[in-house]
């Protein structure tokens, strides 16, 4: 067990499953106290149990600013600061261009862009000098994907936020980076298609990856922990791909 993040206070939004949960587990294993958010209390409780005594769950919808206020009020009263902010809450579903609705657009941009923006803004009073902010991007931001344009556009916005915020926060020494997963074996990825087509989707996606397989949530978690640590002290405004080479060739 590493202690590179000993005495660090971390928040992982969307931390009750998939990449968020794996990242929270990795941060905790390296010594951090970790707060996680999620929308469903039962799932949140199970995630806290899986992470262990270093974890605290706060039920919150990242697209609701009132919920975000509750999250940061809790952290302020219990810990008084944040050293690591992993803004991971988000998601999306597939919709062809001629079928996109206002609801589809508002839901995806509401969490992936609006929620992400205000999560970082509301965290600012708690972030220590030298803190690490990590945003979840996606290879979809740089590769066209049929029927996935709204999600892909939302992740392109995330990438640009990091470039600008690294400048906004440079006087505080706060680093802002993006971790961009390729296809990762999560319930969210499988949920893009009906269950009977899930294995077929995984096989198609794996065939597109130069390493010939899907990634695992734990592999993204290790990248998040690296970006959170002092080992990444000179990495800023970067996009860190965990994609098996998918977007690189």
Is the CB of residue 202 less than 8 Å from the CB of residue 158?
A: no
pLDDT at residue 202 in the model: 86
Please state, in angstroms and rounded to a whole number, the distance separating the CA atoms of residues 117 and 110: 10
pLDDT at residue 1 in the model: 61
Mean pLDDT in residue range 8-33: 98
Q: 242: helix, coil or strand?
A: strand
pLDDT at residue 79 in the model: 98
pLDDT at 247 over 70: yes
Q: What is the pLDDT of residues 54-106, one digit of tens each?
A: 999 999 999 999 999 999 999 999 999 999 999 999 999 999 999 999 999 99
For the chain, the C-alpha Rg in angstroms (whole number) is 17
Task: 94-98: list long-range contacts, CB under 8 Å, 24+ apart.
Answer: 94/147, 94/148, 94/151, 94/192, 95/147, 95/150, 96/146, 96/147, 97/147, 97/149
Mention every residue, 6+ apart, whose C-beta is less than 8 A from residue 44.
16, 36, 37, 38, 57, 58, 59
Please state, in angstroms and rounded to a whole number, the distance separating the CA atoms of residues 201 and 10: 34
pLDDT at 195 over 90: no
pLDDT at 2 over 80: no
- Confidence at 197, pLDDT banded by 50, 70, 90: confident
Is the CB of residue 223 less than 8 Å from the CB of residue 163?
A: no
Is the CB of residue 150 less than 8 Å from the CB of residue 105?
A: yes
Say what the pTM is: 0.96
Copy the structure tokens of residue 197: 């087509």
**DSSP 8-class letter at 81:** -
Helix H or strand E segment including 130: strand 127-136
pLDDT at 187 over 80: no
Task: Show which residues are catalytic.
Answer: 151
Please state, in angstroms and rounded to a whole number, the distance separating the CA atoms of residues 218 and 18: 9
Mention every residue, 6+ apart, whose C-beta is less than 8 A from residue 97.
147, 149
Q: Count other Cβ atoms within 10 Å, centred on residue 125.
A: 10
Mean of the per-residue pLDDT values of the chain: 95
Percentage of residues in the chain having pLDDT higher than 90:
88
Q: What is the pLDDT of residues 126-159, one digit of tens each?
A: 999 999 999 999 999 998 889 999 999 999 999 9
Percentage of residues in the chain having pLDDT higher than 70:
99
């Amino acid at each position: 067990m590493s202690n590179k993040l000993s005495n660090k206070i971390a928040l992982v939004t969307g931390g009750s499953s998939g990449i968020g949960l794996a990242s929270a587990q990795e941060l905790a294993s390296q010594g951090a106290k970790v707060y996680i958010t999620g929308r469903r209390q039962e799932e949140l409780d199970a995630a806290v149990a899986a992470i262990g005594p270093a974890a605290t769950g706060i039920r919150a919808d990242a697209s609701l600013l009132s919920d975000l206020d509750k999250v940061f009020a809790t952290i302020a009263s219990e810990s008084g600061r944040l050293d690591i902010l992993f803004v991971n809450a988000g998601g999306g579903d597939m919709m062809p261009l001629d079928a996109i609705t206002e609801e589809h657009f508002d839901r995806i941009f509401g969490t992936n862009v609006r929620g992400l923006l205000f999560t970082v803004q509301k965290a600012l009073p708690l972030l220590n000098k030298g803190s690490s902010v990590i945003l979840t991007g996606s290879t979809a931001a740089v590769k066209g994907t049929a029927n996935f344009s709204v999600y892909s556009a939302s992740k392109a916005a995330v990438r640009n936020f990091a470039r600008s915020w690294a400048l906004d926060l440079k006087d505080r020494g706060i680093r802002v980076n993006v971790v961009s997963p390729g296809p990762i074996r999560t319930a969210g990825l499988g949920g893009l298609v009906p269950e009977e087509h899930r294995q077929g989707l995984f096989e198609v996606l794996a065939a597109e990856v130069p390493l010939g397989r899907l990634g695992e949530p734990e592999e993204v978690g290790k990248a998040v922990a690296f970006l959170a640590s002092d080992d990444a002290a000179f990495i800023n405004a970067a996009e860190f791909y965990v994609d098996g080479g998918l977007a690189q060739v």
